[in-house]
Amino acid sequence: MPIKRIASGSAYEPKIGYCRAVAVDGRVLESGTTGNDHATMATPESVVDQCELALGHIAVALQNAGASFADVVRVNYILPDRGNFEECWPLLRAAFGDNPPAATMIEAGLIDPAMKIEIEVTAFVTARLPQIA
């Protein structure tokens, strides 16, 4: 069973030693994803802007694994301040649409104090995963 490791270009990946996602045996396991700009490593101030960027990074990794938000079955939201979570609900509802996953919201510190949300997803791909070259 081939394993596909998907990098996103975040500076944290080589520093810490992880990749954005791993696709194996029909599963996509995506690392906790924050809302910073991978090109500049700048983090917007707004939790909504950070959520939007994080969802964009997640969408790209899912696509690279042959999946989409419709294939996500589990999501974990981690926020340093749970009071910020409700502001993100419209974005999350739009991302998952008619395919809501099981979900958990955890209040905990993140690696950088400027980060206000981290999102981790697990997806199952119904179609065969792309072959690894």
Paired tokens of 112: 């950088």
Residues near 16 by beta carbon (within 8 Å), at least 6 away in sequence: none
Distance CA 31, CA 36 (A): 14
Distance CA 10, CA 12 (A): 5
Answer yes or no: is pLDDT of 132 > 80: no
Mean pLDDT of the 93-114 span: 96
What is the overall mean pLDDT for the chain? 92
Answer CATH for 3-124 from 3.30.70.100, 3.30.1330.40, 1.20.1090.10, 3.30.565.10:
3.30.1330.40
pLDDT band at 9 (very low <50, low <70, confident <90, very high): confident
Give the relative orientation of helices 47-64 and 85-96 as an angle to the nearest 10 degrees.
30
Q: Where are the domains of the chain?
A: 3-124
**Stretch (H or E) spanning 24:** strand 21-24
pLDDT attached to residue 55? 98
Mean pLDDT of the 23-41 span: 91
22-26, 37-41, 48-52: least confident range: 37-41
pTM recorded for the entire structure: 0.89
Which spans in 11-113 are helix H? 12-16, 47-64, 85-96
What percent of the chain is modeled with pLDDT above 90? 77
Q: Could you tell me which residues are beta bridge partners of residue 106?
A: 78
Distance CA 67, CA 33 (A): 17
